[in-house]
Amino acid sequence: MPLIKKGDVVPDIIQLLPDNIANQIAAGEVIQRPASAVKELLENAVDAGATEIKLFVTDAGKNLIQVVDNGKGMSETDARMCFERHATSKISSIEDLFKIKTMGFRGEALASIAAVAQVELKTRKAEDELGSCLEVENSIVKKQEACSASAGTNICMKNLFFNVPARRNFLKSNAAEMRHIVDEFIRVAMAFPHIFFSLTSNGQQVFHLEAGSLKQRISQILGTSYTSKLVSVSEDTDYMNVYGFVGKPETAKKTRGDQYFFVNNRFIKSAYLNHAVMSAFDEMIAKDSFPMYVLFIDLDPSQLDINVHPTKQEIKFEDEKIVYAFVQAAVKHALAQFSIAPSLDFSLNADIQQMEAVSKPVTEERLESITSSNLFKTFSQKNQAHKIEGTNRSELRSWKDFYEPSAQPLPSDLGTETDTTNGQLEYTGYSLLKDEQKLRLLPDAVLTQLHGSYIVAPTQQGFLLVHQQQAHERVLYERYSEATHGKQMPTQQSLFPSTIQLSAADSVLIQELLPDLKVLGYLVEPFGNNTFVVQGTPADILQGNEKMAIELLLEQYKHFSSDIKFSKREKLVRCVAKQQAIKTGKTLGQQEMLVLVEELFSCKTPNITPNGSPTYLEFKADYLERMFGK
């Protein structure tokens, strides 16, 4: 850089960007992918008062996104102005910003879309004879003229990111982008059940949602299986209203997919409010499961700020704690009202009938021992039920002796095998085998199954305790991994192929996975209208369970989908292995246990599951002897 001498004139270097470049930069915040444009256009149609909204997409929105509505339409001047930045009909003063009740309000959606796509707009107000037709490209109006048009607005967005090829190259596959479009469509359609919505992709209708009640809309979108498993939530207060539906505990899934929060009919993401619902379901569902809910919060717009995020999916409440408490209380009240919340159970537990104290008669010696104790006397003498002798407190510690045979104390030197670390005992008598050379099953060893979950296998050094489900998961994982890198798994053709009806979102997902499923032995073919025919499954799947196997596989895949460090095929292999592994509680025969143990130790990594959990433990003979004081 040349030196600047005294007296030289330094040129100005700061300049205003041209409008088209400024619009493209602004579009990066609003239009990140085709689904972003879908969201903005659908929300504009809702704000226009439409009762029918139709969405058409081609190539997952990359080539075409078209929204047709029967709303109030626009005049010729408004049709031209709507493509200018910050042009809006919903805000006229700063005070309006804190009273927002519409979906779109910032006036950036159409300007951003026009900056990165070729847009054609046809619109007509109901009272006008002719409508307006505009063509905009790269923020420049190419054509504007009067035309015949239906009442409402018809907007086409073609060739997204045609003038920003780098952005277009970053878009994912059509199946992945279509899933995002379906998600955005569902969020808008769920919030306005009184409006008809339809979605057509590549000429095939994906959704046809007739106007109706919220419960009907939930069944239309999430499936009719929820119809009889919804619990109504309704709490009205002066501060806020909470209403909607939550699923019964048995509908809880391993994924968060069916969870929707709406504040003033706007979909939001809130881990804080999600925690409120989760706490209301505490102890009713498994810790790793998530309840289904569609909840609406009506609140004074002045009590929240919805302009804290470009996509408006994150909002800020004036008092989050009050909203949290209301949501939690509303869900708890709904579950209790429908007798779903846990209550006191006074019925006798069947396990009690099997206890020795109940099933076996009391001998004279035992009866004499019981009746001679001070504890028995305090509860049997007249007016003494409240009195407990204070001279021998240790007797209270052995109250279980009335019902259990006395156990021999453990040898005092057992403590040498344990080490105390932060109050936790660590047993060092077992170890994880590092390789298959350490396995030495006794000749003609007889394997034993414990609690339907573990296999005890005697070895020359002691015995192995094998977790049957995790061991089988490791075996299947390596088997399917080899199939994805070589010869595909054999498929067992179904004599009577079964059909499976999926939700629209799952339908898009399974179409993306069909080639990889075929490699793993699943032969699934599309049958139209979100229906698929299962022509064949891997030989391990029992005939008649094909439908359940596919549904569980999709659920497992969505559970893994948040982990970005694995490829799509790796996630699928892990899902299939986990889904097809024999479950705890399954009784195994002697030959089945032997085959499982042999297959486990023929694996490359036999000691852990794909996610790192141990498949077995080894208990050595010298440790067992020391446990018994030898």
DSSP for 226-294 reads GGGGEEEEEEE-SSEEEEEEEE-GGG-BSS-TTEEEEETTEEE--HHHHHHHHHHTTTTS-TT-B--EE
What are the φ and ψ backbone dihedral angles of 357, each rounded to 5 degrees? -65, -25
Q: Where are the domains of the chain?
A: 19-209, 214-337, 413-630
Cα–Cα distances in Å, from 426 out to 307, 308, 417, 432, 467?
Answer: 53, 50, 9, 14, 20
Question: Closest by alpha carbon to 438, among 414, 454, 455, 462?
Answer: 462
Select the CATH number that applies to the domain covering 413-630 from these four: 3.30.1370.100, 3.20.20.120, 2.60.120.260, 3.30.70.270: 3.30.1370.100
The C-alpha atoms of residue 205 and residue 220 are separated, in whole angstroms, by: 14
| CATH superfamily label, 19-209 | Histidine kinase-like ATPase, C-terminal domain (3.30.565.10)
Q: What is the DSSP string of 209-242?
A: E-S--HHHHHHHHH-GGGGGGEEEEEEE-SSEEE
Q: Count CB atoms within 10 A of the CB of residue 51.
A: 13
Q: Which residues contact 392 (CB under 8 A, 6 or more apart)?
A: 374
* Residues in a beta bridge with 370: none
Amino acid 66: pLDDT: 95
Amino acid 417: pLDDT: 38
| Mode of pairing for the β-strands spanning 204-209 and 259-263 | unpaired
Cβ pair 355, 307 in contact under 8 A: no
Question: Closest by alpha carbon to 478, among 468, 489, 467?
Answer: 489
Rounded average pLDDT per 10-residue block, the chain, 630 residues: 62 72 63 88 90 94 93 87 68 52 61 87 91 89 89 92 82 86 93 94 89 90 83 88 91 80 87 88 82 90 63 68 89 80 43 52 68 63 52 51 47 38 36 47 76 84 85 86 74 78 80 83 82 80 67 74 64 80 83 86 84 84 76
Helix 568-580 × helix 546-560 angle, to 10° = 130
Amino acid 513: pLDDT: 84
The C-alpha atoms of residue 336 and residue 233 are separated, in whole angstroms, by: 11
Question: Closest by alpha carbon to 153, among 119, 180, 102?
Answer: 119
Amino acid 544: pLDDT: 60
Q: Which residues contact 73 (CB under 8 A, 6 or more apart)?
A: 48, 123, 124, 125, 126, 128, 131, 151, 152, 153
SS3 567: coil
Cβ pair 92, 102 in contact under 8 A: no
Q: Count CB atoms within 10 A of the CB of residue 4.
A: 9
Instruction: Write out the CATH class of domain 214-337.
Output: alpha beta
Torsion, Cα 357 358 361 362, to 10 degrees, reads 30
What are the φ and ψ backbone dihedral angles of 533, each rounded to 5 degrees? -105, 125
Q: What is the DSSP string of 413-448?
A: GGGGGEEEETTEEEE-SEE---SGGG--BPTTPPPE
Amino acid at 630: K
Torsion, Cα 94 97 100 104, to 10 degrees, reads 110
What are the φ and ψ backbone dihedral angles of 259, each rounded to 5 degrees? -135, 120
Q: Count CB atoms within 10 A of the CB of residue 13.
A: 5
DSSP annotation of 87 reads -
Cβ pair 555, 253 in contact under 8 A: yes
DSSP annotation of 506 reads H
Cβ pair 328, 282 in contact under 8 A: no
Query: 0.75 cut: is pTM over it?
Result: no
Question: Closest by alpha carbon to 531, among 558, 559, 502, 552?
Answer: 502
Question: Closest by alpha carbon to 261, among 298, 227, 286?
Answer: 298
Amino acid 420: pLDDT: 37
Sign of CA dihedral 608, 614, 615, 618: positive
Question: Which residue shows structure tokens 């709406």?
Answer: 262
* Residues in a beta bridge with 305: 316
